[in-house]
Chains A and B, each alone.
Chain A
Amino acid sequence: MKTQAQLIKGTLWIHLNGRTVAVDANQGRKSRKKGAGGSSDQINAPMPGKVTKILLKEGSVVQPGQAVLVMEAMKMEYTLKAEIAGEVESVSCSVGEQVVLGKTLVKIKPEAKT
């Protein structure tokens, strides 16, 4: 089948034999939506959805892999975990809040190297 493409709201979608690639039409780079990766010292919403539980408060000590908050989208629960050790610097969402993709939910102050 011929390759096909379509521009939707600034993203170019291209169909390549069973694979679909989304490219940011302004930059020409593969569209990595913000928050998908994020940096390791903050937890961003990987999808639009609702915050259902916040497990740690500001000032809490956190370990890598520790569950920090729980989100719900499309009827499924997703537990978001810390990538690094440190201390919860700020929590910028509340339980029940509907958040957009890529919103920063929690910032973590990395553990000081000794």
Chain B
Amino acid sequence: MAKFSRIAIANRGEVAVRIIKACEEMGLETVLLHSEADINSRAFRMATKTICIGPAPTAESYLNIKANIDGALAGGAQAIHPGFGFLSENADFAEAVQKAGLTFIGPSAESIRSLGDKVHCKELAKRAGLPLVPGYQGENQTVAELIKQAEKIGYPVIVKAAAGGGGRGMKLIRDSADAAELIESAQREAQSAFGSPKVFLEKYLDRAKHIEFQVFGDSTGNVIHFFDRECSVQRRHQKIIEEATSPSLTDDLRRRMGEAACAIATLGKYKGAGTVEFLLQDGEFYLLEVNTRLQVEHPVTEEVLGVDLVKMQILTAEGNFVHDPKLIRSPRGHSIECRIYAENPYMGGVPSTGLLGRIEWPEGPGRRYEYGFSEGDTITSFYDPMIAKVIVWDESRSRAIQKMIRVLKDSIVFGVHTNIPYLIEILSHKEFVNGTMTTRFIETYFADALKEPELTESEKKMIESAMAELRGSPLASDPTTTSPWASFWRGV
């Protein structure tokens, strides 16, 4: 049984912060393996030790296996936590980490290969008798062959990166006219994001819900599940809002899907935290993929079950974690997570970069924030636009929605535009409130760009008075009233 004293983190942003927090709680030191661009970040300031592993482009730093391992060794770590994204689902990395005499905090390279490769995973699932969405997973990757297969499946068809995750390298083909362009684009994205251009095709289910089960294999190989999440609110195949537990499952469905999730994870000899994703349509569920890593949305599961999945991952890697049947509990209340992206909701969601000013996440019971940047840090165009996650918990789903709207309205991010106004619109929509949304929710009800609301007269006055105060005009300094700009900060 290993005992770690220092853990290297091969990741950045809010996930690196999340792992550092778990390590600190366990009395472990951390080594942050970071790129040149991430010197001004919260994780950089929090880690016990930091080692620069290369320049900003991800291929030269966060995706560079050798640089990460060399960094971890130089930093004196015994184990590497890959977080999510980057190398977290890369079997070669897991293998190289073990070869270097370090422990990979995650499943074995063998498990990642059999479950993480979406194509291989489907073959495994077929053997286990799990229902699958019709598709093409062949070796022939020429555009002509892929188009031929897409026609055979019947449009709409979705093209996905075989090594993918996080919604990247994924395109929806509605008809043959766009097929070539979209397939090529998916192959390019797959190559640049995952280092392999391999894609596969799947029939697009048009009224489906996205349901996933958090599975966890302990040190003895015993797999249980930590219930379900629903992630139906997606844009460009990227999740925006997640919740636990799903408002759409009956007891019977929950039991059957949970059993299926554990069955495939057991077949893949799974250790540590993983997720089995399903599509649910008309009361039937289909296996979508298995994510052999921790997920962005893991906090909603932690909130309804009162567990710490990162701590459990580290204990499992030490060979020290066994599920305690007495402690396995039922979900309590409801939790929602919103991903905050640096993008302009009024301009079709184009990324927004810049120097961050004031950031404020309003505290209160049942509120949790995961973020990687603070005031004075810069959001660059090199990485993912997700800058923070806001998570709430409350006794019921409707209360959790209400709380989330309040929290978002009170959160302040200056310096970059964010999707907060977009999230508030979504949370207020009747389909979301009723829990009847499908993966097509956004394309059905929301245009690509949110319409920018007109400023009200009082809002215009507020802006004018802020401008006046900025210029030191007498207009702003009415001695009889308290200035509304009591907390007005004078620039950076």
Query: Contacts A19-B453, A49-B381 hold; do A28 and B467 have CB atoms under 8 A apart?
Result: yes
Q: CB of A67 within 8 A of chain B? A: yes
Q: CB of B447 within 8 A of chain A? A: no
Q: CB of B45 within 8 A of chain A? A: no
Beta-carbon contact of B417 and A22 below 8 Å: yes
Q: Produce 1/0 per residue, A6-19, CB < 8 A to B.
A: 11110011111111
Query: Contacts A7-B470, A18-B424, A25-B467 hold; do A13 and B415 have CB atoms under 8 A apart?
Result: yes
Interface size of A in residues (CB-CB distance below 8 Å): 41
Q: Produce 1/0 per residue, B451-492, CB < 8 A to A.
A: 001010001001110110010000000000000111111111
Q: In whole Å, how far is B365's beta carbon from the nearest beta carbon of chain A?
A: 17
Contacts of A75 on B, CB cut-off 8 Å?
58, 168, 193, 383-385
Beta-carbon contact of B351 and A25 below 8 Å: no
Interface size of B in residues (CB-CB distance below 8 Å): 58
| A28 to B424 alpha-carbon distance, docked (Å) | 27
Contacts of A23 on B, CB cut-off 8 Å?
463, 466-467
Contacts of B410 on A, CB cut-off 8 Å?
1, 18
Q: CB of B446 within 8 A of chain A? A: no
Q: In whole Å, how far is A1's beta carbon from the nearest beta carbon of chain B?
A: 5
Closest B residue to A24 by CB, please name it: B467
Contacts of A73 on B, CB cut-off 8 Å?
351, 353, 381
Q: CB of B188 within 8 A of chain A? A: yes
Q: In the complex, how many residue pairs between chain A and chain B have their CB atoms under 8 Å apart?
A: 134
Q: In whole Å, how far is B169's beta carbon from the nearest beta carbon of chain A?
A: 9
Query: Contacts A4-B487, A23-B467, A47-B350 hold; do A9 and B355 have CB atoms under 8 A apart?
Result: yes
Beta-carbon contact of B352 and A6 below 8 Å: no
Query: Contacts A6-B491, A21-B455, A49-B351 hold; do A15 and B467 have CB atoms under 8 A apart?
Result: no
Q: CB of B192 within 8 A of chain A? A: yes
Contacts of B360 on A, CB cut-off 8 Å?
4
Beta-carbon contact of A7 and B491 below 8 Å: yes
Q: CB of B236 within 8 A of chain A? A: yes
| A1 to B352 alpha-carbon distance, docked (Å) | 25
Beta-carbon contact of A77 and B353 below 8 Å: no
Contacts of A47 on B, CB cut-off 8 Å?
350-353, 381
Q: CB of B358 within 8 A of chain A? A: yes
Contacts of B358 on A, CB cut-off 8 Å?
4, 6, 13
| A38 to B38 alpha-carbon distance, docked (Å) | 32
Beta-carbon contact of B188 and A52 below 8 Å: yes
Beta-carbon contact of B420 and A20 below 8 Å: yes
Beta-carbon contact of A74 and B420 below 8 Å: no
Contacts of B303 on A, CB cut-off 8 Å?
none
Query: Contacts A4-B412, A8-B415, A46-B350 hold; do A14 and B463 have CB atoms under 8 A apart?
Result: yes
Beta-carbon contact of A5 and B485 below 8 Å: yes
| A74 to B424 alpha-carbon distance, docked (Å) | 23
Q: In whole Å, how far is A48's beta carbon from the nearest beta carbon of chain B?
A: 5
CB < 8 Å neighbour of A8 from B352, B382, B464, B491: B491
Beta-carbon contact of A12 and B381 below 8 Å: no
Q: In whole Å, how far is A90's beta carbon from the nearest beta carbon of chain B?
A: 23
Interface residues of A in 60-76 (CB under 8 A from B): 67, 70, 72-76
Q: CB of B357 within 8 A of chain A? A: yes
Contacts of A39 on B, CB cut-off 8 Å?
none
| A19 to B489 alpha-carbon distance, docked (Å) | 18
Q: CB of B421 within 8 A of chain A? A: yes
| A48 to B351 alpha-carbon distance, docked (Å) | 8
Q: In whole Å, how far is A43's beta carbon from the nearest beta carbon of chain B?
A: 13
Beta-carbon contact of A21 and B463 below 8 Å: yes
Query: Contacts A3-B462, A18-B420, A77-B189 hold; do A8 and B351 have CB atoms under 8 A apart?
Result: no
Q: In whole Å, how far is B451's beta carbon from the nearest beta carbon of chain A?
A: 13
Contacts of B352 on A, CB cut-off 8 Å?
47
Query: Contacts A18-B408, A18-B409 hold; do A77 and B188 have CB atoms under 8 A apart?
Result: yes
Closest B residue to A17 by CB, please name it: B409
Interface residues of A in 70-94 (CB under 8 A from B): 70, 72-79
Contacts of B350 on A, CB cut-off 8 Å?
36, 46-47, 78
Q: CB of A34 within 8 A of chain B? A: no
Q: CB of B413 within 8 A of chain A? A: yes
CB < 8 Å neighbour of A15 from B193, B353, B412, B417: B412
Closest A residue to B342 by CB, please name it: A74
Interface residues of B in 203-229 (CB under 8 A from A): none
Beta-carbon contact of B185 and A77 below 8 Å: yes
Beta-carbon contact of B414 and A6 below 8 Å: yes
Q: CB of B418 within 8 A of chain A? A: yes
CB < 8 Å neighbour of B192 from A1, A16, A46, A72: A72
Interface centre among A17, A21, A28, A77 (most CB of B within 10 A): A77
Q: CB of A57 within 8 A of chain B? A: no
Q: CB of B181 within 8 A of chain A? A: yes
Beta-carbon contact of B414 and A15 below 8 Å: yes
10 A-B contact pairs sorted by A residue (CB < 8 Å):
A2-B484, A3-B462, A4-B488, A6-B414, A12-B470, A16-B459, A16-B462, A21-B463, A67-B181, A74-B385
Residues on B facing A (Cβ under 8 Å): 58, 168, 181, 185, 188-189, 192-193, 236, 342, 344, 347-348, 350-355, 357-358, 360, 362, 381-385, 408-410, 412-415, 417-418, 420-421, 424, 453, 455, 459, 462-464, 466-467, 470, 484-492
Would you list the 4 A-B pairs with minimal beta carbon distance, nearest first?
A: A18-B409, A7-B491, A13-B414, A74-B385
Besides A15-B414, A18-B420, A49-B381, 12 more A-B contacts (Cβ < 8 Å) are: A8-B357, A8-B491, A16-B462, A20-B418, A21-B463, A22-B417, A46-B350, A48-B381, A67-B181, A73-B353, A76-B168, A77-B189
